[in-house]
Structure 1
């Protein structure tokens, strides 16, 4: 038996390494391929590689690859047979919010603990949502913060398994990568990082889907907890001549106390929205055939906090805010598509409806700059490009507000600087149910703003902080507010003044009188400039009318037409 084994070993060595009689594989190859002997000697001498043995090994691997592929196919069929028989599953479509909530939970609760060696690196991408949260959030110091955004390493996966509530779960991404990666067999975790744009399959060992349902509920609760201090804001964007809602932006919730206008009006507005969101109200509307929707017009001078109020209300009621700048919408059908994509429960903010709501307006540019702590009311100048390309009409706006195809359940806020000039068709009940005036700041609101600005921070004191007891703060706030004239300055102006002196409340009190004098002087200068510009426009208009009159006097071809035209121009001249 031993002799037979030795003979077989010797025979294999002879076939692989060659023999002197020329019957080996090496001899056959050397006779068939000219120059092979030189290559074999070169590889053996310089690279210490037996070329004949290498070629033989590759040949054997190529021979057994076919059976291995067959075994792989059989194993895959057995896998799917086992999956159908012993597991339950739920599929999640791509771009669904639940999809991203699952990825968020897995990233934080599973992959981080597993210590995966496959990561994805990112800095910032304005086109993606901030769904991944860092496990250890640290407050950055802008005094020493580097200009470059630090690299953030996040785990990725193609298929992952874990144990949840004593059940074995498997989450699999359905790849939508390019054909090149599929043909070359690149695993999903190397091809791309999951961002919610691929379908997911949630599998659980067992024949009941109840554990999966509880797992999905946990993912939703986890995301809600992470976002409880934020509101979701979506803005419209134009992508290849197609209007759509941009990706999610998370904004910190703004308390209602930080929006300064009449407290009675504020309380009535909040109570009205509470009543509207009550399920009994919806049933009442439905039973009586009344469209279940609500519209508000926020109007007043620029800088009074119209956009800020919308953000505060969205945070107060936990609703998503959809932001739409009317002059940026190019066509009525684009506006319809945007409204059709709205969820049934949200707040829609239509900014600068003056662009289409004022009767006879022809996209004029008006100086309506509006600021509120860098939260622009967006009642700013209409961009010349938007004004040129925007063909959104009043009828298109009215159609999406209460047309046949308009959705129900949403709350619409519209902002305007010139509510008295809006078309009556837009402000009628059913489209705008309440008009909320946000005027200039009162002394009481100025006092509250002062208290809010200089109240001690609950967090760790910064280098710019200061110490001021409650009694002294109350006295300083009262002294500050009594020096401010009623309904002259906007909240944005007062807030800007206080921000410049945020570490010096005493200086803010002593310097407010000089600041008011300077601001009043600037207002008077501005009014004088406006008056002068108005006089120049009137003078130019008069010259144009007189020129037309003189031209008509020289023409005598059509006397009847001239008389009618002259009478019309005379009327215009009288108005001027």
Structure 2
């Protein structure tokens, strides 16, 4: 009889196991809980049974809690997710880090200086304090705001090439979606207040954008280049951004895009003018340094750009020598193509992101280069580059403008009367002409001239007196640089 019972048990056990696993599809966790029952009935000591009971309770409790949380999230919680590469992420994180409850999070991300500052002008003493700013880090964080309960979740996950992707989610305990919309609108208003009269500058980190800083808007009048150049550029950009212009392009089936090439020697104000144009039209600017990119990163970054922005492509000449893989043929391999291994941006990829079939519209693309002769004609043909603007070394007019820009303006707190100010301006204009007469035109960049003037920013007469010594020093440095370059070329040969 005992053997018969054992045989029946052997047949019944698999049958029960199969049924339990089938029920586990509808009641997750049931199989784990029932697996403890044989241990509970077979345990020989009270401690063993107590241990099995605790394990069973933990398994059941986990299942019940997960079920309750799932029901709450499905039927009783409203949630919104914010992608890390959207401006809405900066709006939310800027607002959260400013709230007192952010300091109460058990796991916090602590930073010294924020990307955005609520104070446009901070004194040196304030800067030296280096106050800490807290924002919740990985995990859940609960907070109340205006009588409503919210949950903030921030998590990071690994993606390709060792980069991390951040995900942020805000949940509200209720059905009313208006509460979350009002919270995000408050974050938006707070963010816009911070960036008022500022230009948001985005840099790239790997294959994604990051809001590196918000700079005070630079007035175009502070960029010392030829007035005709500024007027021409500003007028063309203003016409392009006009809503009627977009309708005109759309009605004729033309791609709505505009490209500019700013070329000239280093230090002539190309990038500075691009930044000031972004501030003038209240646009964010996305800066790409071509020498630090490859094909994949360039395509990924262009795919994440918003519609209305300025894209500044610096050192565009770094692309000119990197052809497509089809252009790099090796005669020794019977015309077979060889793949590019230098990890740089190829010309075909750049052309495709600029005006390919999938290229987005509505963006202003500004390219800068110090060496226009290195650029491929296909890159700067009409349609890709609609306007080429040359930036030159300082002429007599620019020299006098630079001098008066530094010395002819009194700070806002000055107590000088209007008559004294006019008299001083007249004196500075005469000194500016004297300074311009001593410096040969077309020999120095505006950046070089500005470096001299800033050294003597409190003494215009000393700046004029030292200009001869300064020019001699610059000349010697250039000769030394030329000798160094010639030695490098000789060693390479």
Confirm or deny a common fold (TM above 0.5). yes
| Aligned counterpart, 2:101 | 111
Match of 1:480 among 424, 432, 445: 432
Match of 2:134 among 154, 176, 180: 154
Q: Does 1:489 align with 2:444?
A: yes
Do 1:103 and 1:196's aligned partners in 2 also have CA atoms closer than 8 Å?
A: no
Match of 2:80 among 79, 91, 94: 91
Match of 1:356 among 302, 306, 319: 319
Q: Structure 2 CA distance, aligned partners of 1:344 and 1:265?
A: 26
TM-score normalised by length of structure 2: 0.69
Match of 1:347 among 305, 310, 318: 310
| Aligned counterpart, 1:413 | 366
Consecutive unaligned residues of structure 2, counting only runs of 5 or more, are 1-44, 158-163, 324-339
Q: Structure 2 CA distance, aligned partners of 1:280 and 1:218?
A: 32
Q: Structure 2 CA distance, aligned partners of 1:458 and 1:342?
A: 39
Match of 1:335 among 298, 303, 311: 298
**What's the offset of the Cα at 1:131?**
5.2
Do 2:404 and 2:432's aligned partners in 1 also have CA atoms closer than 8 Å?
A: no
Do 2:353 and 2:359's aligned partners in 1 also have CA atoms closer than 8 Å?
A: yes
| Aligned counterpart, 2:423 | 471
Are the structure 2 counterparts of residues 417 and 506 from structure 1 closer, same or farther at C-alpha, using a change threshold of 3 Å?
same
Q: Structure 2 CA distance, aligned partners of 1:424 and 1:326?
A: 18
Q: Does 1:458 align with 2:424?
A: no
Q: Does 1:102 align with 2:56?
A: no
Do 1:328 and 1:390's aligned partners in 2 also have CA atoms closer than 8 Å?
A: no
**What's the offset of the Cα at 1:314?**
1.8
Do 1:293 and 1:409's aligned partners in 2 also have CA atoms closer than 8 Å?
A: yes
The structure with the largest alpha-carbon Rg is 1
**What's the offset of the Cα at 1:171?**
2.1
Are the structure 2 counterparts of residues 249 and 510 from structure 1 closer, same or farther at C-alpha, using a change threshold of 3 Å?
same
Are the structure 2 counterparts of residues 359 and 401 from structure 1 closer, same or farther at C-alpha, using a change threshold of 3 Å?
same
Do 1:236 and 1:324's aligned partners in 2 also have CA atoms closer than 8 Å?
A: yes
Q: What is the CA RMSD across the aligned residues, in angstroms?
A: 4.5
Q: Does 1:515 align with 2:484?
A: no
**What's the offset of the Cα at 1:444?**
2.7
Do 1:119 and 1:153's aligned partners in 2 also have CA atoms closer than 8 Å?
A: no
| Aligned counterpart, 2:392 | 439
SS in structure 2 opposite 1:248?
A: strand
Do 2:204 and 2:210's aligned partners in 1 also have CA atoms closer than 8 Å?
A: no
| Aligned counterpart, 1:225 | 193
| Aligned counterpart, 1:12 | none
| Aligned counterpart, 2:30 | none
Consecutive unaligned residues of structure 1, counting only runs of 5 or more, are 1-32, 34-55, 179-194, 239-243, 361-386, 462-467, 545-576
| Aligned counterpart, 1:174 | 153
Q: Structure 2 CA distance, aligned partners of 1:394 and 1:474?
A: 53
Q: Bigger shift: 511-520 or 414-423?
A: 511-520
Do 1:121 and 1:151's aligned partners in 2 also have CA atoms closer than 8 Å?
A: no
Are the structure 2 counterparts of residues 79 and 299 from structure 1 closer, same or farther at C-alpha, using a change threshold of 3 Å?
closer
Match of 1:213 among 181, 184, 198: 181
Q: Structure 2 CA distance, aligned partners of 1:224 and 1:287?
A: 34
Q: Structure 2 CA distance, aligned partners of 1:202 and 1:486?
A: 64
**What's the offset of the Cα at 1:321?**
2.0
| Aligned counterpart, 1:249 | 212
State how 1:60-459 maps to structure 2 within 5 Å. 66=57, 77=68, 84=75, 89-95=78-84, 96-109=86-99, 111=101, 116=104, 120=108, 122-123=110-111, 130=114, 138-141=122-125, 145=128, 150=130, 152-154=132-134, 156=136, 158-163=141-146, 168-174=147-153, 176=155, 197-203=166-172, 208-238=176-206, 244-252=207-215, 253-330=217-294, 332-357=295-320, 389-454=342-407, 455-458=409-412
Do 1:359 and 1:422's aligned partners in 2 also have CA atoms closer than 8 Å?
A: no
**What's the offset of the Cα at 1:121?**
6.2
Report the number of matched residues: 410
